[in-house]
Amino acid sequence: MYCRKKPHWISAAAFAAAGLALAAPSVRAQANSDPDATAKARLAWMREKQGNLWNVNADEGAFLRGLVEKVHAKRALEVGTSNGYSSIWIAMGLRRTGGHLQTLEIDPGRARLAGENFRAAGVDSLVTLKLGDARKEIPALSGPFDFVFIDAWKQDYVLYLDDVLPKVRPGGVIVAHNVTDLRDELQDFIRAVQTNPQLKTTIENPGPGGFSVSYKLPAP
């Protein structure tokens, strides 16, 4: 349920400064100097300890990371942070492209978890988390974005699409989750991305949720 409180920017580092727990000792022990190993260890811990939050699965996360690298994304936007599981996969791709992720979450509890996870995964410098209603925040964001991932309130997918499309560069990509397992709920959205003349869309299924992958075409 959307809240209407005044949103504010939250960095993952700020959560750590507040004295929040970062990682279980067993996860820290697995981490080494490889930043991806640190992130992957935290992702595995999240699957075990926070697996009830409707995240993408590991294969879907790897798909998102690869797509970020494929489009050489520098500026990425995520609508629906949850506990930050998909954000960390996206951030690993952005580490290679030299990019940065802005991610939006409406629920303070999930945002708090995400901040802890970003710090523990070693991606907090790659991610800026904003607490607030995406429908209000997206219009205020400065584009263009190279990569957008939508995984939030399903009934608003078409509205999110309308909000983000003008802010995506030609050649950029908009990805949306659950178009396979929740296809009946997302018929209007699927129709919108498949018929919009500004987009070239395919449906990809690296995992059970399924993604629509919509590339923005150059203006005619």
HSE value, Cβ hemisphere, 13 Å, CA-based, for 94: 27
Model pLDDT, residue 33: 66
Judge whether 204 lies within some domain: no
pTM of the model: 0.85
Judge whether 74 lies within some domain: yes
Judge whether 133 lies within some domain: yes
Question: Which amino acid, one-letter code, is at 16?
Answer: A
- The domain tally of the chain equals 1
Model pLDDT, residue 35: 72
Q: What is the residue range of 71's domain?
A: 8-171
How far out from the chain centre does Cα 100 lie?
11
Judge whether 211 lies within some domain: no
Model pLDDT, residue 52: 82
Judge whether 188 lies within some domain: no
Judge whether 111 lies within some domain: yes
- Phi (first) and psi of residue 211, to 5 degrees: -120, 140
CATH of the domain at 139: 3.40.50.150
- Burial class (CB within 10 angstroms; exposed 0-12, middle 13-18, buried 19+) of 6: exposed
Question: Which amino acid, one-letter code, is at 51?
Answer: G
* Per-residue b or e along 168-183, where b marks 16 or more CB atoms closer than 10 Å to that residue's CB: bbeebbbbbbbbbeee
Q: Locate tokens 């981490």: which residue?
A: 31
Judge whether 151 lies within some domain: yes
Judge whether 186 lies within some domain: no
Going residue by residue through the chain (220 aa), what tens digit of pLDDT does each one get? 333 333 444 444 444 444 333 444 444 444 446 879 999 999 999 999 998 888 999 999 999 999 999 999 999 999 999 999 999 999 999 999 999 999 999 999 999 999 999 999 999 999 999 999 999 999 999 999 999 999 999 999 999 999 999 999 999 999 999 999 999 999 999 999 999 999 999 999 999 999 999 999 998 8
Q: Report the side by side order of strands in the sheet with 75-79.
A: 8-11, 127-131, 100-105, 75-79, 145-150, 168-177, 211-216, 199-204
Reference 205, options 175, 185, 165; nearest CA is 175
